[in-house]
């Protein structure tokens, strides 16, 4: 049985063109019309005949997760819950990391025509946000910064940096250093902003040599530690942007013969499960709820937008608190 696909192939045109010739001949050029009709006659195609049944094309149900960096603490804690919940609902999750050319990740994600988007730990500008809006794909910002966001959820990172620093200041530490990741990541940027606010409020001097902005791999943190050790007036306390950074610094200081907190106090941010372990007992600022629940709430709210069409604005900012343990004095 002859199909429109066969006609298209015989005429050397697309199947869309064949359809247009048969249904809207006034919209095609005479040359194209003649070519297609010649193929129709030669193959004895009949529009009344039923074409060979073909299996329907099914669209894979997908969620795109756009993340600022693979080492971002919020992404690491929340992503498994997002992926697991989506899988339970029959959705596949594609993860895209924002590199130097941030538009590439967004273009790829949007071109995939995903059913929904989670944008995790990135700084959005107006053009990217407009691109997301005009895609008509439901999306939620998770721990991502944009002043006019309508659907967002995250931790109060600025308050976390502020609380950690204020706690050390209250303990009469004057030489406080900051060690954190690069400030193009909103998690690090907001926590660093809170650190600066606390110093300013207390009237403490902000010494640039004690503000260490670095990559968060072990070798980069070793360099950060070395730079602090080279200071004539060494810090008596450190605010680390994440628990993971704090734990790595604890190792360096212990290897150098320091006793924590007798010789130096270290506080992290995140209240991670590993930091809570009795061997480490890391003082930290974070949410009493773990990051897996943040991921689960994010993906559930996204599914409400996808399946129920809920479009009411919400901006959820989870509060943080101090968890005093054994690394500060």
We report the CATH number of the domain holding residue 40 as 1.10.260.40
As a whole number of angstroms, the distance between CA 51 and CA 251 comes to: 71
**Do residues 161 and 283 both lie within one domain?**
yes
**Do residues 218 and 302 both lie within one domain?**
no
As a whole number of angstroms, the distance between CA 157 and CA 188 comes to: 8
CA end-to-end distance (rounded Å), the chain: 85
**Do residues 148 and 209 both lie within one domain?**
no
**Do residues 126 and 89 both lie within one domain?**
yes
**Do residues 169 and 133 both lie within one domain?**
no
State whether residue 154 is helix, strand or coil: strand
Structure tokens at 270: 């995140």
CB atoms closer than 10 angstroms to residue 41: 9
- Residue at 304 is within a domain: yes
Strand-strand pairing, 265-269 and 284-286 = parallel
DSSP designation for 289: S
Q: What are residue 317's DSSP bridge partners?
A: 154
- Residue at 138 is within a domain: yes
- Residue at 122 is within a domain: yes
Spatial contact of 119 and 133, defined as CB atoms under 8 Å apart: no
Q: pLDDT (tens digit, 0 to 9) for every residue of the chain, 329 residues total? A: 678 888 888 888 888 888 877 777 767 787 887 788 888 878 877 665 544 445 554 567 999 999 987 778 888 889 999 999 999 999 999 998 887 666 888 888 888 889 999 999 888 888 889 999 999 999 999 988 787 889 999 889 999 999 999 999 999 898 999 999 999 888 899 999 999 999 999 999 899 999 999 999 999 999 999 999 999 999 999 999 999 999 999 999 999 999 999 999 999 999 988 899 999 999 999 987 778 899 999 999 999 999 998 889 999 988 899 999 999 98
As a whole number of angstroms, the distance between CA 142 and CA 120 comes to: 5
As a whole number of angstroms, the distance between CA 88 and CA 105 comes to: 25
**Do residues 34 and 128 both lie within one domain?**
no
∠267-271-275 over CA atoms, to 5°?
75
- Residue at 305 is within a domain: yes
**Do residues 148 and 296 both lie within one domain?**
yes
Spatial contact of 137 and 231, defined as CB atoms under 8 Å apart: no
**Do residues 116 and 200 both lie within one domain?**
no
**Quick check: pTM over 0.85?**
no
**Do residues 113 and 170 both lie within one domain?**
no
Which stretch of DSSP H or E encloses residue 66? strand 62-67
Spatial contact of 216 and 245, defined as CB atoms under 8 Å apart: yes
Residue 102 has phi, psi (to 5 degrees) of -60, -30
As a whole number of angstroms, the distance between CA 199 and CA 169 comes to: 8
**Do residues 274 and 161 both lie within one domain?**
yes
Count the helix, strand and coil residues of the chain and give each as a percent rounded to the nearest 5: 45, 15, 35
**Do residues 258 and 205 both lie within one domain?**
yes
Where do the DSSP E strands lie in the chain? 62-67, 92-97, 116-120, 139-142, 151-155, 176-180, 211-213, 237-240, 265-269, 284-286, 314-318, 321-323
Domain that holds residue 39: 4-49
**Do residues 193 and 281 both lie within one domain?**
yes
How many domains in the chain? Answer: 3
- Residue at 327 is within a domain: no
CATH of the domain at 163: 3.40.50.2300
Q: What are residue 140's DSSP bridge partners?
A: 118
Structure tokens at 216: 């968060």
CA distances from 171 to 103, 163, 268, 316, 329 (A): 45, 12, 16, 32, 7
């Amino acid at each position: 049985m002859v199909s429109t696909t066969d006609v298209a192939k015989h005429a050397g045109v697309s199947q869309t063109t064949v359809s247009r010739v048969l249904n809207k001949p006034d919209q095609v050029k005479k040359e194209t019309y003649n070519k297609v009709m010649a193929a129709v006659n030669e193959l004895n195609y009949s529009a009344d005949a039923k074409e060979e049944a073909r299996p329907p094309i099914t669209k894979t149900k997908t969620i795109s997760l756009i993340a600022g960096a693979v080492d971002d603490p919020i992404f690491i804690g929340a992503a498994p819950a997002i992926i697991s919940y989506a899988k339970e609902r029959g959705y596949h999750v594609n993860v895209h990391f924002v590199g130097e050319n941030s538009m590439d990740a967004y273009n790829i994600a949007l071109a995939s025509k995903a059913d929904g988007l989670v944008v995790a730990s990135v700084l959005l500008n107006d053009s990217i946000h407009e691109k997301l809006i005009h895609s008509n794909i439901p999306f939620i910002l998770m721990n991502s910064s944009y002043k006019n966001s309508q659907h967002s959820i995250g931790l109060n990172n600025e308050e976390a940096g502020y609380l950690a620093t204020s706690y050390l200041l209250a303990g009469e530490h004057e030489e406080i250093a900051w060690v954190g990741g690069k400030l193009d990541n909103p998690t690090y940027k907001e926590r660093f902003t809170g650190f600066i606010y606390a110093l300013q409020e207390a009237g403490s001097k902000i010494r640039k040599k004690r503000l260490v902005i670095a990559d968060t791999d072990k070798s980069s943190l070793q360099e950060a530690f070395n730079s602090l050790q080279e200071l004539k007036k060494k810090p008596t306390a450190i605010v680390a942007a994440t628990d993971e950074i704090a734990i790595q610094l604890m190792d360096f200081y212990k290897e150098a013969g320091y006793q924590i907190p007798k010789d130096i106090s270290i506080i992290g941010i995140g209240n991670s499960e590993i930091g809570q372990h009795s061997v480490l007992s890391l003082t930290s600022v974070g949410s009493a709820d773990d990051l897996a629940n943040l991921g689960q709430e994010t993906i559930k709210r996204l599914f409400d937008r996808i399946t129920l069409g809920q479009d009411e604005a919400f901006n959820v900012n989870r509060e943080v608190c101090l968890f005093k343990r054994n690394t500060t004095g």
